[in-house]
Amino acid sequence: MNAYTEQACQALEVGRLVKAGLTQPLGQMPRGSIGRILAVSGMGDRNIERGLLEMGFIEGACIEVLHYGLLGRDPLAVRINQSMTVALRQVEANAVLVGPLLDQTGTGPGASQERGT
Amino acid sequence: MTAGILTADHARMVQIALVGPPNSGKTTLFNTLTGGRQKTANYPGVTVERKSGRLRTPVGHTVELLDLPGSYSLRARSPDEAITRDVVLGRQAQEGLPDAVVCVTDATNLGQHLRLLLELRQLGRPLILALNMMDLAQKRGCQISIETLSKQLGIPVVTTVAMRKHGVQDLLGEIDVLLNQTPATVGTTAADAWEEPSPDAIRAYHQEVERLLKEVIIQEAAPERLTRQLDRVVLHPVVGPLILLSILFLMFQAVFNWAATPMDWINGGMAALQEVVSAHMEDSLLKSLVVDGIIAGISGVVIFLPQILILFLFILLLEDFGYMTRAAFLMDRLMSRVGLNGRAFIPLLSSFACAVPGIMATRAIAHPLDRLTTILIAPLMTCSARLPVYILLIAAFIPNTTVWGGIGLQGLVMFGLYATGIVGALVAAGVLRLTVLRGSRQPLLMELPSYKWPNPANVLLGLLDRAKIFMRRIGTIILSVLVVLWFLSTFPGAPAGATEPAIYYSFAGIIGRGLEPLLAPIGFNWQIAIALVPGLAAREVAVAALGTVYALSGDKEAIAETLATTLAHDWTLATALALLAWYVFAPQCLATLAAARRETNSWRWPVFMFAYLIVLAYVAALITYRVALAMGGG
């Protein structure tokens, strides 16, 4: 999708990647895991969708879960594209669907079609 | 005022707006560009501050630089951000369309910050991009092709290091070039036609940013390690809150310990002033007004300036360092339980010094309901004006003994009063969000910026700003209130052969005695009732008023000392405890109500605030009084 974020994300440890084929809401990702944003829905609320997009939660961006709060794993702090750390609550985080960083087959939604161009 | 080429046919100065996302170093750049020559005012109708300053370009243009509130996008989410949008679009009343916009971005975070620039470029107005914090970016090995970026964007691009003066010369040069070549009037159709971008439009902007970055980034910045490592400790679910508590503890220690000396100076200075004025004026009503009304009243308020400044010093340092958003992160869960936002933490913290700047700081809270809730509970934080009353009553009624092996009982009661205020505020917020302020929860979407060393000039200018706001308040609202109060407690004078102190016969006395039956169930005598009349305007005035009611004379310290003895003799413990409980909740501060009125732009909310707090205070005092009586405190 975009080579720039691809580069940034590839620098991350392979061992912590989200398992291939597994997609889950951002709020469910374990601490320390890394994945790629597949969809930002805002759960039907355009303002939440816009708010998320404006803070850098955009399809294709690479995301790493850094911290969870003490109670109910809420809120959470995530790093987007290795450049910006954003805090958000579970409710909004679950409007962000995250998939594996690299699809092993190279054809799935997480695959980068533009690599090498 | 020297007009440049551009303004030859303009009545006003060249105006340039500084726009940028939060944490882009925009305000530091503004301070460096304008030096100390800045003005802070309010936009009419709204309460967002208008910060402007003047600068001279190398060619000699005089430019008015406008520091607009930080914003990630032109789609405004808070009153602050709405101002940024309206000014940039030329929709802000009494503000022309700026002649040019300088968009400030963090060079280490271009991927997120360039989108705002693209939105601005869409407007077709003269625009300069300042890649700020270039030194940090280079330190992390980042290489950006400025030329390509400028060519791709079709606008001038400069790199700046906001903290250093020499870093801004290029920017000034570009401003000159722009001013010389731009025709005075540019079509504003693009700005007129602006509308909020749809989610897909935002996605398109993102894609454009990605495309640009691929072109211009020669070498990417190495990830910031220090911030990550610090965050591992600071945001740790268990260690993090402990660190936060320690910082708060240190802060309050400093507020009370460091402030003691300057407070003594102010006290001494005001007492000397009072003496000098006394000696040089003939006995008259005017003298009474100046000495007893104005000077005494003002010294009672100015005395808190050191405490307020020390608290703000900490807040500004922590904010500049990048810690405040972490504190908001740690507090969010607790605060969201009662319908608040983690961002409310900073305004509420400020309210421990004084609720007025606290209420003003709520402007950064995006959602109106969140903001309103925060404003309504801010007065429950124990502000420094309550302290004289707390100290007086604790000294008079709480024995100076230790409990549970070494904890001072007096200190424990003081802590209890603070804690009661905080718990009361949380409960009040929860109830408000379930009743009057019912509405959907608002998202917390907050950038946690990289840590950096605080900039001394920034912090100093911020402190000066706070001091100015506080002093301005004293010069206006408090001064006028003091005159009215003096009038109420001086007229009419005592009749011949009066047995009670003069204030007993005054309007304040009449009002106080009229209130007495209402206050009797909570254990307040007529002396307290009278003292509460001036105390309604400003809490701390009640101490002086009690002194007057008990007909004490001498300087302030002597009054406080004798007053404690007198009260311990005259009141029951139950009455004293009830008054303390009353003080935790009672809305006895006109300045706070005025601030709430200004920030909410209506009388409805300050009136509501007054009503719910006075009911709370009454109920709290009633319960305290009855329980204390039952336990033998009569």
Is the model's pLDDT at B554 over the cut of 70? no
Determine whether the interchain pair A69/B109 forms a contact, defined as Cβ–Cβ distance below 8 Å: no
Task: Please report, for chain B, the start and end positions of each structural domain, with discontinuous segments joined by +.
Answer: 6-223
Would you say residue A102 has pLDDT above 60?
A: no
Residues in Cβ contact with B49 at an 8 Å cutoff, skipping those fewer than 6 apart = B40, B41, B42, B43
Of A4, A55, A89, the CB nearest to B336: A89
- Judged by CB atoms closer than 8 Å, whether chains meet at A82 and B210 is answered as no
Best mutation target among A9, A26, A84, A113 (most B Cβ atoms within 10 Å) is A84
Name which of B327, B353, B293, B342 is nearest B481 in CA terms: B293
Distance from C-alpha of B412 to C-alpha of B389, rounded to nearest angstrom: 16
From residue A105, give the alpha-carbon distance in Å to each of A2, A21, A116, B12, B362: 18, 10, 16, 64, 50
- pLDDT tier for residue B524 given thresholds of 50, 70 and 90: very high
Does residue B67 have a pLDDT over 60? yes
Interface test with B, best of A10, A89, A112 (most B CBs within 10 A): A89
Mean pLDDT of B216-243: 89
A8 to chain B: closest CA residue: B220
Give the closest of A11, A69, A83 to B332, CB-based.
Answer: A69
More reliable by pLDDT, A40 or A116: A40
Model confidence at B108, in pLDDT bands (50, 70, 90)? confident
- Helix (H/G/I), strand (E/B), else coil: B197: coil
What are the beta bridge partners of residue A87?
A: A77, B446
Spatial contact of A62 and A82, defined as CB atoms under 8 Å apart: yes
Cβ separation B444–A75 shorter than 8 A: yes
Q: For the ranges B3-7, B181-185, B267-271, B360-364, which has the lowest average pLDDT?
A: B3-7
- Tell me what the mean pLDDT of segment B226-248 comes to: 92
Domain residue ranges of chain A, discontinuous segments joined by + = 3-99
Closest CA of chain A from B62, distance in Å: 35
> Of B320, B309, B299, B386, which is closest to residue B350 (Cα–Cα)?
B309
Q: What does each C-alpha distance from B75 to B78, B84, B356, B548 come to in angstroms?
A: 9, 10, 29, 56
Q: Is B7's pLDDT higher than 70?
A: no
For the segment B287-313, the average pLDDT, to the nearest whole number, is 79
Percent share of chain B, pLDDT over 90 = 26
Q: Give pLDDT, residue B356.
A: 84
Sort out which chain B residues have CB atoms less than 8 A from A91's CB and list them: 441, 443
Neighbours of B138 (CB within 10 A): 17
Chain B: nearest CA to A87, how far in angstroms? Answer: 5
Query: What confidence score (pLDDT) does residue A21 get?
Result: 58
ipTM for the complex shown:
0.79
Task: Kindly state the average pLDDT of the residues A83-101.
Answer: 88
Question: What is the sign, positive or negative, of the torsion defined by CA atoms of B261, B266, B267, B271?
Answer: positive
Closest residue, chain B, to A64 (C-alpha): B228
For a pLDDT cut of 70, what percent of chain A falls above it? 68
Query: Nearest by CB to A87, which of B236, B329, B441?
Result: B329
Q: Sorting pLDDT into bands at 50, 70 and 90, what band is B551?
A: low
Decide which of B246 and A7 is more confident: B246
Query: In the CATH scheme, what architecture does the domain B6-223 have?
Result: 3-Layer(aba) Sandwich (3.40)
Any B CB within 8 A of A59 CB? yes
Residues 6+ away with beta carbon under 8 Å from B627:
none
* Structure tokens belonging to residue B71: 């914003």
pLDDT at B453 exceeding the cut of 70: yes
Which DSSP symbol is given to B16?
A: E
Q: Can you tell me the mean pLDDT for B65-81?
A: 86
- 3-class secondary structure, B278: helix
Q: Is the pLDDT assigned to residue A101 strictly greater than 50? A: yes
A vs B, Cβ pairs < 8 A, gives 127
Distance CA B276, CA B265 (A): 16
Beta-strand ranges (E) seen in chain A are 24-25, 34-40, 62-68, 76-80, 84-88, 96-99
Q: What is the pLDDT of residue B575?
A: 93
Position B111 confidence tier, pLDDT thresholds 50, 70, 90: confident
Q: Which of A29-38, B80-89, B487-496, B612-621 has the lowest mean pLDDT?
A: B487-496
Residue B381 in contact with residue B422, Cβ under 8 Å? yes
- pLDDT at res. B116: 93
Mean pLDDT of B549-575: 76
pLDDT confidence band for B42 (50 / 70 / 90): low
- Across-strand partners of A36? A62, A99
Burial class (CB in 10 A: 0-12, 13-18, 19+), B201: middle
Give the confidence band of B66 by pLDDT, cuts at 50, 70, 90.
very high
CB contact under 8 A, B333 and A84: no
- Reported as a pLDDT band with limits 50, 70 and 90, residue B628 is very high
Within 8 A of A54 by CB-CB distance, chain B residues are 72-73, 75, 115, 202
Partner-chain contact A71 B333, CB within 8 Å: yes
Contact B584, B420 (CB under 8 A): yes
Q: Got the DSSP string for B387-420?
A: HHHHHHHHHHHS-S-EETTTEEHHHHHHHHHHHH
Count of C-beta atoms within a 10 Å radius of residue A13: 9
pLDDT at B6: 44
Fold for A3-99, please state it.
Answer: SH3 type barrels. (2.30.30)
Specify whether the CB–CB gap between B532 and B522 falls below 8 A: no
pLDDT value, residue A13: 43
Tell which of A40, A50, A114, A117 to mutate to test the B interface (max B CBs under 10 Å): A50
d(CA B271, CA B53) in angstroms, rounded, equals: 38
pLDDT tens for each residue of B153-188: 999 999 988 666 666 888 888 888 888 775 555 555
**Residue range B594-612: mean pLDDT, rounded:** 90
Q: What average pLDDT does the structure give for chain B?
A: 84
**pLDDT reading at B1 higher than 60:** no
Q: Which of A84-88, B364-368, B484-488 has the highest mean pLDDT?
A: A84-88
Q: Which two tokens stand for residue A14?
A: 């392979």
Residue B577: half-sphere exposure toward Cβ, Cα within 13 Å: 21
Chain B contacts of A83, Cβ < 8 Å?
Answer: 108-109, 111-112, 221, 223
End-to-end CA separation in angstroms for chain B: 72
Side chain identity at residue B164, one-letter code = R
Residue A111 pLDDT level (bands cut at 50, 70, 90): very low
Task: Measure CB to CB from residue B72 to each of A4, A54, A72 and give the nearest one.
Answer: A54
Q: Residue B187 has what pLDDT? A: 52
- Looking up tokens 């902007």, which residue turns up? B205
